[in-house]
Each structure stands twice: as C-alpha cells, then as structure tokens.
Chains A and B, each alone.
Chain A
Amino acid sequence: MTIDWSNKNDSEIIEKVLGGNTDLYEILMTRYRNNVMRIVMKRVPPLEAGDIAHEIFVRAFTSLARYEGRSPFENWLSVIAVRTCHDYWRDRYRSKETTMNELSEEHVQWIDNAASEESDKSEISHESRRSAREVLAWALQRMSPEDRAVLELVHLEERSVREAAEILGWSASKIKIRAFRSRKKLRKLLEDVMD
C-alpha cells in the first residue's frame, strides 16, 4: 500500500526528507511556492523572481536540518525568502550592478495625481497600480540594501520592530534606526519629484 504524502503535515514530510526521501520535498514546494513568489515578486525585479525563488527553495532544503519546528514551516521559509532577497540586493550593491531607472513622464504624472487626489482613499485605481509599483521600485533602488529591507518590512508591510528584527536577524535598535532613516529617505525622494 502506498502512502499519500500530500495529505501529511509539514513536520512529517520534513522528517522523511531529512531521512533521505528527497522527492517528498516537492510537496512542500507545491504547498508554499505561491507564498514564496509573493514575497519575491515584491522585492526583486520580475525577471529575476524565478531564479531567486529557485535559490530560496534550495537554501531551505540545505538548511532543513536546522528547522526546529518552533514556528510553522511557512514562516521559517518566509524568513529565508526575505533574507535571500536582501542578499540579492546586497550582492548587486557590492558589485555596483544596480541600474538606476529614471522616472518617465507617466510616473511624474502619477505622482502629481496621487498627491493631489481629492478623496483621501488608501486604495488606488487599477490603472495606476503599475505606475505606483514602478515609482516605489525607483525609490527603493536609491536606498542601501539595509534601508530597503527595513523599509519594506516596517513601513510598507507594517510589521513590528521585533518581527523585523527576527526576520532579518538584526538587533531591534538597528531596525529602529534604519526604519527612521529609510522612511525619511523615501519621503525625501518623493518630495523631490513633487517639486
């Protein structure tokens, strides 16, 4: 009788994978690949997302023995995903490979519209979402990888300082300083375009 492993919980599968049944890792991949991709797509250029997600699953596999099961596997994997994206920008920053995209007329127009929007709604129209993402990407490109990572977690995702510290493996005070600095930087960048 063959066992249907797709119904088993994560810890049972992980135990088997660690015992040498590498093929079962694919079940975990199928379960969490969308979550991982959601994290990655927000953080790295779309063309790089597939490769980064690939690296995340390989990293998770090679560190699987260190997973202690204190938090759900999904959370553990998310931490690896965020850190891998941070490493991507760190490598780019070190090798000075980052290409600075300039804002187009369309983006400047979007900034003017978003800033002068009459209603104070937090939701933006479907058409302008792409422009908003591109403006944000433009601003994030002009930050250090550390500022960027903290801004994403604390300011954009509204996570607590403690959570961000746990995810990035940094001290809470470092997160606080970076959060303040990065938000100031984002405001300055947006303000300059508004002028």
Chain B
Amino acid sequence: MGSRKKDLEKLERAVKSAWKEDPPFEFSSGWQEGVMRDIRSRAAIAEKVCLTNIYGSPVLKFSAIAAAVTILLVIYAFKSDITSLHDLAMMFLDDPAGFILSPPSV
C-alpha cells in the first residue's frame, strides 16, 4: 500500500514537472498582423458606434429642435416691427413713459 502511494506520488511529480516545461511553440507567419487587423477594425466599429450613440441621444435631438426654434424666432423678430417689440418691453418693465428704456432712434 505504502509503495503504491509512493509510486503515485512519483507519477504526480513527473506530470507536474512536465507541466512546468514550456512546450515548444512558434507563431504562424502573419499572426500578429492578423490580430492587429482585427483590433483596428474593432476600434473603428467602436468609434462609429460611439458617434451614432451621441447623435441618437435625446439630448442631441432636443438641442436640434431648440436650435431650429431659435432660428425661427430670430427670423420672426427681424420681420416684425421693432417698435412694437420695444413697446412690449416697456410694458413688461412697467415703464409706459419710457424713463428706463429710451425710444428707439428711428
């Protein structure tokens, strides 16, 4: 029984020693280039996905709408009578006599 245990231990040591040895290996030609090609294409896809995410985000959609509304308001302001806008401002500031806001020089 004792000898069998010893034999098994020897066998285990032999197997362990074989594991510790580095098995011979060689990289196939173009292996590294292949990995780098894969990595570059993944990096490109990741970048693309990242940009799509930014443009598809609700914040960006909202900002596009806000920009469009601002442009329309500017156009409207230019087309409408500047004097009436001034009057409106005076009403808001509770300054009907025009002490705070001087009348526009037309």
Interface check B16, CB cutoff 8 A: yes
Shortest A107–chain B CB gap in Å is: 12
Q: Pick from B8, B10, B34 the residue with the most CB of A within 10 Å.
A: B10
Interface check B76, CB cutoff 8 A: no
* A187 near B12: Cβ-Cβ < 8 Å: yes
Interface check B94, CB cutoff 8 A: no
Among the 9-residue stretches A68-76, A77-85, A117-125, A166-174, the one with 4 or more Cβ atoms under 8 Å from chain B is: A117-125
Are A136 and B19 also in contact (CB < 8 A) when A25-B36, A37-B27, A114-B14 are? yes
Instruction: Give CA–CA (A62, B20) in the complex, Å.
Output: 30
A54 touches which of B4, B15, B17, B38 (Cβ 8 Å):
B38
* A132 near B31: Cβ-Cβ < 8 Å: no
Q: A-B contact count, CB below 8 Å?
A: 109
Instruction: Give CA–CA (A33, B26) in the complex, Å.
Output: 11
Interface check B84, CB cutoff 8 A: no
Chain B residues, Cβ within 8 Å of A25: 36, 39
How many A residues touch the partner, as a band? Answer: 35 or more
Interface check A95, CB cutoff 8 A: no
* A61 near B27: Cβ-Cβ < 8 Å: no
Interface positions of B from 10 to 54, Cβ below 8 Å from A = 10-23, 25, 27-28, 31-32, 34-36, 38-40, 42-43, 46-47
Interface check A58, CB cutoff 8 A: yes
Interface check B7, CB cutoff 8 A: yes
Interface residues of B: mostly helix, strand, loop or mixed? helix
Shortest A186–chain B CB gap in Å is: 7
Are A190 and B23 also in contact (CB < 8 A) when A54-B38, A58-B39, A62-B42 are? no
* B34 near A156: Cβ-Cβ < 8 Å: no
Shortest B49–chain A CB gap in Å is: 12
Shortest A17–chain B CB gap in Å is: 9
Instruction: Give CA–CA (A116, B22) in the complex, Å.
Output: 25
* B15 near A37: Cβ-Cβ < 8 Å: no
Among the 9-residue stretches A38-46, A97-105, A141-149, the one with 4 or more Cβ atoms under 8 Å from chain B is: A38-46
Interface check A135, CB cutoff 8 A: yes
* B32 near A29: Cβ-Cβ < 8 Å: yes
Shortest B8–chain A CB gap in Å is: 6
Interface check A57, CB cutoff 8 A: yes
Are A41 and B39 also in contact (CB < 8 A) when A30-B32, A54-B34, A133-B18 are? no
B-side residues, CB < 8 A to A, are 4, 7-8, 10-23, 25, 27-28, 31-32, 34-36, 38-40, 42-43, 46-47
A-side residues, CB < 8 A to B, are 20, 22-23, 25-26, 29-30, 33, 37-38, 41-42, 46, 49-50, 53-54, 57-58, 61-62, 111, 114-117, 120, 122-124, 128-129, 132-133, 135-136, 139, 152, 155-157, 186-187, 190-191, 194
Pick 8 A–B contacts, CB within 8 A, sort by A: A22-B43, A41-B23, A61-B39, A111-B11, A116-B7, A124-B17, A136-B15, A194-B4
